Amino acid sequence: MSIAIHLADSDIVAPAEEGDLILDALLLAGVPMAYSCQQGNCGTCKCELVQGEVMDLDYSEYALTPEERARGLILACRTQAWGDVTVRRLDDEELVVHPERFMRCKVALLEDLTHDIKRVVLKIESGGPYSFTAGQYAKIEFLPLTTRDYSMANVPAAGADTDDAKRLEFHVRAVPGGAASQFVQGKLAVGQTVRVSGPYGASYLRESHQGAILAIAGGSGLAPIESILGRTLAAGNSNPVRLYFGVRALRDVYHEDLFKAWAAQYPNFRYTIVLSNEEAPGYAHGLVTEVVARELTGVIGMKAYLAGPPVMVEAATRLLGERGMAARDIHADAFYTEADRQGNTA
C-alpha cells in the first residue's frame, strides 16, 4: 500500500510503499539526508520519529543507544515505515536542496597528488548547470556500470554560467582491489567521457554558522574538507578554523602548499599534518584522533567536519561526542565502499 514520509517543518513529502526503509524513500525523493554505512553501524542517518508506525531492523547500539531510541530517535537506514510517517532531521537548521543533475563530463586534467591519489578535473559538457554546497559529493561512472561516490574538492562557483561552474575537481585514492579507483589510477585518460550525477550528501558547510570550525580529514578525505575550508575562509569567516590532516607517511601528504598559503592569508587558520607510520620534523605523530584528543580544549560553539576512512570518522565522531559536541554539530562523510555496505569488507 502506498504511504507518505513527511519531513517535519518542510513541505517535503516522499512517496513510499509499506515496508520501505525511510532513508531509501527520502533519498529517492531527492531529500539531502546524511547517511553513510546504510547498515545501522555508523549512526549518521539518525533522525527523530515525530509520528507514525515503524518497524526497526537490526542495528548497532553504538549507532543508536537504547536511551536515544526511547527518546524517539531512529536510524533512517534501518527503519521501515508501515503507514504515513513524519521524521525530522536532527540538523534541519540549514536544509540545502540543489537540483539533481545527470551530466556528461570530459576528463580535463589528471595529476598525481601522491603515489596513490589522483586529482581528476572534469569539465561539464552537458546536463548542467551544476550547483552544490561545499562538502557534497557526486556519483561518478568512470567505468561503465560502476558508479561510485566522490566528493567535490573545488569550492562551488559563484555564478552558474561561469567557466568555473563547469569545472569539477575530485581526489581519488586507489583502493587495493578496487574496480573504479584502480581504473582511475591506471587507465583513465584526459578527454574520456564520464557520467556524473549529483549533488548528494548532507555533510556540507553550514554557511550560517558563525563559530569555530574543526576539520579532520584522512587521506583523500581531504577533498570535501578542502572545499569546505576554502569556502568558509573565502567567505570571511574570522573564527578559528582548524584542520587536522591524517595520513600514514610523508609520501601520502599533499596540498601542504595550499595549507601554508591559507595560513599566511588567514590568521584564523591553523593546520596540523599527522603521520601515523613515521616521524618527521614539522609533523605530528600518531593517529589523527589521538592528536586531536590531546589538543582539543573545548567544543562550545564549534562545528566539526570529518571525512575519510570509516574507522577514522567513527573514532573522531566518538571522541567529539565524549567531549560534549552535539550530534547536530558533527558533519561526517565516512568513505564506505560498496563492499563495506554489503557487510563484506575485505
Ligand X SMILES: Cc1cc2nc3c(=O)[nH]c(=O)nc-3n(C[C@H](O)[C@H](O)[C@H](O)COP(=O)(O)OP(=O)(O)OC[C@H]3O[C@@H](n4cnc5c(N)ncnc54)[C@H](O)[C@@H]3O)c2cc1C
- Give, rounded to a whole angstrom, the gap between the first and last alpha carbons of the chain: 39
Give the largest Cα separation in the chain, rounded: 64
- Residue keyed to cell 590531546: 294
Rule CB under 6 A: which residues touch ligand X?
Answer: 137, 148-151, 170-173, 175-182, 201, 220, 223, 333, 335-339, 344, 346
Cis peptide before 99 (omega within 30 of 0): no
Could you tell me the smallest distance in angstroms from the CB atom of residue 153 to ligand X?
Answer: 7
Whether 168 contacts 124, CB under 8 Å = yes
Measured from the CB atom, the residue of 51 and 345 that comes closer to ligand X is 345
Instruction: Please say which residue, 114 or 237, places its beta carbon nearer to ligand X.
Output: 114
Going by the DSSP 8-state scheme, the letter that residue 39 receives in this structure is: S
Closest CA to 313 of 221, 200, 248: 221
- The nearer residue to ligand X, 300 or 346, going by C-beta atoms, is 346
250-274 b/e (C-beta count within 10 Å ≥ 16 → b): eebbbbeeebeebeeebebbebbbb
> Which residue lies nearer to ligand X by CB, 100 or 295?
100
Whichever of 313 and 327 has its CB closer to ligand X, that residue is: 313
In the complex, what is the shortest distance from the CB of residue 267 to ligand X, in angstroms, rounded to a whole number?
A: 29
Task: Give whole-number Cα distances, 259 to 120, 262, 313, in Å.
Answer: 20, 5, 21
Residues listed for the chain:
346
Distance of closest approach, residue 169 Cβ to ligand X, in angstroms: 10
C-beta nearest to ligand X: residue: 178
The burial of 294, by beta-carbon neighbours within 10 Å (0-12 exposed, 13-18 middle, 19 or more buried), is given as: exposed
Compute the least distance from the CB of residue 230 to ligand X, in Å: 15
In whole angstroms, the minimum distance from the beta carbon of 251 to ligand X comes to: 16
CB nearer to ligand X: pick between 150 and 244: 150
- The span from the CA of 71 to the CA of 88, in Å, is 13
Supply the minimum distance, in Å, between the C-beta of residue 184 and ligand X. Answer: 8
